[in-house]
Amino acid sequence: MTTLTNLTQERRLVTAIPGPKSTEALKRRTEATSGGLGMAIPVVIERASDAILLDIDGNQIIDLGSGIGVTNVGNAAQRVVDRVIEQVQAFTHTCFTVAPYMNYIEVCEKLNAMTPGSHKKKSLLVNSGAEAVENAVKIARHYTKRPAIVVFEHSYHGRTNLTMALTAKNMPYKEGFGPFAPEIYRVPMPYSFHWVGDQATITEDAIDMVTHKIDKEIGAHNVAAILIEPIQGEGGFIVPPKGFLPALAKYSKDNGIVFIADEVQTGFARTGHMFAVEEEGVVPDMVVTAKGIAGGLPLAAVTGRAEVMDSVHASGLGGTYGGNPIACAAALGAMETIEEENLVARAKHIGEILGSSLRELAKKYPVIGEVRGRGAMQAIELVEPGTKNPNTAAMGVVVKYCQSQGVLVLTAGTYSNVVRFLPPLVITDELLKDALSVLDDAFASL
């Protein structure tokens, strides 16, 4: 086995993007893989470390996406790699519900301790964010013996049948994939940039609308769960106005509704808190996690009040691969990295650099309608200057320009006009500033 040295944390282009090798390889991709799959950047990756992706042509690309908020601890983080190697040599699988093993239990202990609230908690491990959301809904329905699930405009919860129904946006997630699961009710999401009034007014209006809809159209006593992303991810990094989440949590409590925070994208230090709900001291009944949990290995979890999680009969929950030992080893490595590298503080620091640079750009380029987000989860919404009309074309040009210069950024938004930034939390200040100077050039090129 050859020893791989870490990649230098610098941007380096040796060919155009895509280079000749990637171009050839992508022909095979087109031939072999489903046309239903998308692609954010047209290069094929050979290696990666921390915030740098190396493609097969030798280009070093700055990663401002973290594989959609997954490699928070950096790509191929040392503690993750070491623990994975150790585990894969020990054993690869038993199925936790056939013959249990320690690192599944340890991951659950850690989740129970690190998620908000001092109440007794228990956890369940599964493979993906969507599977975790499905399980949270299953458990909430079982516990409350109620059918209805309340979700929000602009939400994203996954691509399985139930989670498609929970997700708001039709194209590309739902188009032609119905019929969808019943008993899902969508309520307004306060989207400050497009709503009228100050934050307090918007919060009040939104709570009025949401509770009116639940009380009059569904009946609060029929609602098993209110499910919300504390900052919406795919929807465009929509940050609810202050007071909205606490009011929802209180309404849930008053009505015997399970309040579920989908922290799949916001979790694990991303927003400058371990979990985004901590910003306002909200304590959910259940927290759903995935993405940043295991440094790149597939793992997801539902963590909730013990009495809720234990309400399900034995063998009512499970799955062949859920909480695979290698993924659990990776999660322990990732959690240790977050703690020892103090990545919560690091996310705040990234947020300061990112936020101030993006606000500078917004002053220079009127195509940037709003800068929003928290910590290392920030986005810009692009508009036709002087209006709030979506500017999808500008988004396309900016993203392509960044790619051509070796900077990977992701898009989002119900109106497909948001550029989002989810850098690994270990990105160096120099690398981040280099990427932001490329972004400046991208807007100058418009």
Ligand X SMILES: *Cc1c(COP(=O)(O)O)cnc(C)c1O
Could you list the residues that contact ligand X (CB under 6 A)? 128-130, 133, 156-158, 229, 233, 262, 264-265, 290-291
The amino acid at 229 = E
Q: Tell me whether residue 146 or residue 154 sits nearer to ligand X (CB atom).
A: 154
Of the two residues 234 and 370, which places its CB atom closer to ligand X in the complex? 234
Q: In the bound complex, what is the minimum distance in angstroms from residue 443's beta carbon to ligand X?
A: 27
> Sign of torsion, CA 261 267 269 270?
negative
- For residue 124, the SS3 value is strand
How deeply is 422 buried, as exposed, middle or buried, from its count of CB atoms within 10 A (0-12, 13-18, 19+)? buried
What are the distances in angstroms from CA 34 to CA 21, 30, 39, 176? 21, 8, 12, 16
CB of 249 to ligand X, least distance (A): 18
CB of residue 315 to ligand X, shortest distance in Å: 24
Q: Where are the alpha helices (DSSP H) in 155-198?
A: 161-166
User: Smallest gap, in angstroms, from Cβ of residue 433 to ligand X?
Assistant: 27
Identify which of residues 418 and 431 has a Cβ nearer to ligand X in the complex.
418
Nearest distance from C-beta of residue 305 to ligand X, angstroms: 20
418 close to 379: Cβ distance less than 8 angstroms: yes
Q: CA-to-CA distance for 248 and 255, rounded, in angstroms? A: 11
CB of 80 to ligand X, least distance (A): 17
Tokens 């516990």, residue located: 143
Pick the closer one to ligand X by CB: 18 or 233.
Answer: 233
Rg (CA), the chain: 22
> What's the closest the beta carbon of residue 264 comes to ligand X, in angstroms?
4
Distance in Å, CB of 153 to ligand X, minimum:
14
Nearer to ligand X, 57 or 234 (CB): 234
Beta-strand pair 52-55/45-49: antiparallel
Q: By three-state DSSP, how is residue 152 classified?
A: strand
Q: Which residue is nearest to ligand X (CB)?
A: 129
Cβ proximity to ligand X, 262 vs 279, nearer residue = 262
Strand partners, 383: 390
Q: How far apart are CA 275 and CA 230, in angstroms?
A: 9
Rounded distance, CA 310 to CA 12, Å?
52
Cβ proximity to ligand X, 262 vs 381, nearer residue:
262
Q: How many residues does the chain have?
A: 446
Q: Which is nearer to ligand X, 264 or 439 (CB)?
A: 264
Instruction: Identify the CA nearest to 20 among candidates 40, 43, 52.
Output: 43
